[in-house]
Every structure is written in structure tokens, then in C-alpha cells.
Structure 1
Amino acid sequence: MTMMVKDPGTRIDFEFDWGAAYPGGQVVVASDWSVAPMEEGGVTVIGGAHDLMEVTVTLAGGIAGRVYRVTNRVTMSDGQIDERSMTLRVQER
């Protein structure tokens, strides 16, 4: 699991590249994002996008000193469903 750092006052994009995991021609047809824990003032998903192999999420907020898990769940063109997570530490920069 990847560890990323973000300032609580920033709005920033993060990306996962699914191409290496699915070299056989499958493409991303759906992508959903979640953040845990969900809490008042915590990190929120404010946007997301995907193309054939890459997915992007825009995250905002977060409480300094807290750690969150951001998970991307994708559906591939052949019906497979997979997910990846990253750890996101929020700290003042």
C-alpha cells in the first residue's frame, strides 16, 4: 500500500495506473472511490475520472495528524472487479 502526504488546506489529484495489472486488453469501464474513516472535517472525494487504464481522484480537506485509507474500486471491460488502496497522512506543510 502506497503512503502519500497532503496538507489539510489543499485540493489535490492522485492517480492509479491499472495498465500494468491488466496487460491483456481489458480497460477500466467504471471507477469508484472511498475514504476511511469518514469523519467531520476529514478527507473527502470531490471528483474523479478515468480513461482506459488510469483513474484519478481529487481529494480535499483532512485533519492534520490523521491517517486515512483511500480506496479505488474498478470494474474492467471483461467484468473483473478489483481494488487498490493508498494510505494518506494529513500534515501541515
Structure 2
Amino acid sequence: MAMMVKDPGTRIDFEFDWAAACPAGQAVAASDWAVWPDEPDGVAVAAMAHGLARATVTLEGGIAGRVYRVTNRVTMTDGQIEERSMAVRVEER
């Protein structure tokens, strides 16, 4: 799992490239993002989008010193479901 760092005051985009995971002729049909733990003032999903092979999330907030797991779950055009996570460490910069 990849580790990213963000400041609690920033609003920043992260992206997963799903091209290698897409079977030939398939694309990302739907994408959803979740953050754990879900807590007051914690890292939150501000926006999300996806294209044929990429999924993007805009994250904001977070409590300095905490680590959050951010998970992207996609559904491919053939119905397959894939999931990837990254760790986001929040620290004052």
C-alpha cells in the first residue's frame, strides 16, 4: 500500500491508474472512494471523478499525526470489481 502525506489545511488530488488492471477492451464504469477512520475533522472526500482508466479523489482536512486508509473501489464495464487502498499520513508542513 502506498503512503502519501498531506497537510491538514490542504485540499489535494490523488489518483489511481487502473489501465493495467482493465482486461482488454474494458474500462472503469463506476468509482467510489472511502476513508477510514471516518471521524470528525478527519480526512474527507471533497470530490471524486473517473475516466476510462483513472479514478481521482480530492481529499481535505485531517488530524495531524493520524494515518488514514483511503480506498478506491471501481466497477469495470464487464462487471468486475477491483479495489485499491493507500495510506495518507497527515502532518503539518
Report the TM-score when normalising by structure 1.
0.98
Q: Does 1:69 align with 2:69?
A: yes
CA distance in 2, matches of 1:31, 1:2: 19
What code does the residue aligned with 1:54 have?
R
2:79 match: secondary structure: coil
User: 1 CA distance for matches of 2:13 and 2:25?
Assistant: 26
How many residues align? The count is 93
Consecutive aligned runs of 4 or more in structure 1 exceeding 2 Å deviation: none
**Secondary structure of 2:39's aligned partner:** coil
| Aligned partner letter, 1:40 | P
CA apart distance, 1:25: 1.6
TM-score normalised by L of structure 2: 0.98
Amino acid in the other structure paired with 1:9: G
- Name the structure 1 match of 2:35: 35
* Deviation of 1:23 (Å): 4.5
Report percent identity of matched pairs: 73
Map Cα deviations across residues 11-37 of structure 1 (whole Å, 9 max, x no partner): 000000000112412100100000000
SS across alignment from 1:20: helix
Q: Does 1:44 align with 2:44?
A: yes
RMSD: 0.6
| 1:78 to 2:54 alignment | no
- The 5 A counterparts of 1:5-24 are 5-24=5-24
CA-CA distance at 1:81 after TM superposition: 0.5
Superposed CA offset, 1:39-72 (max 9, x none): 0100000100000000100000000000000000
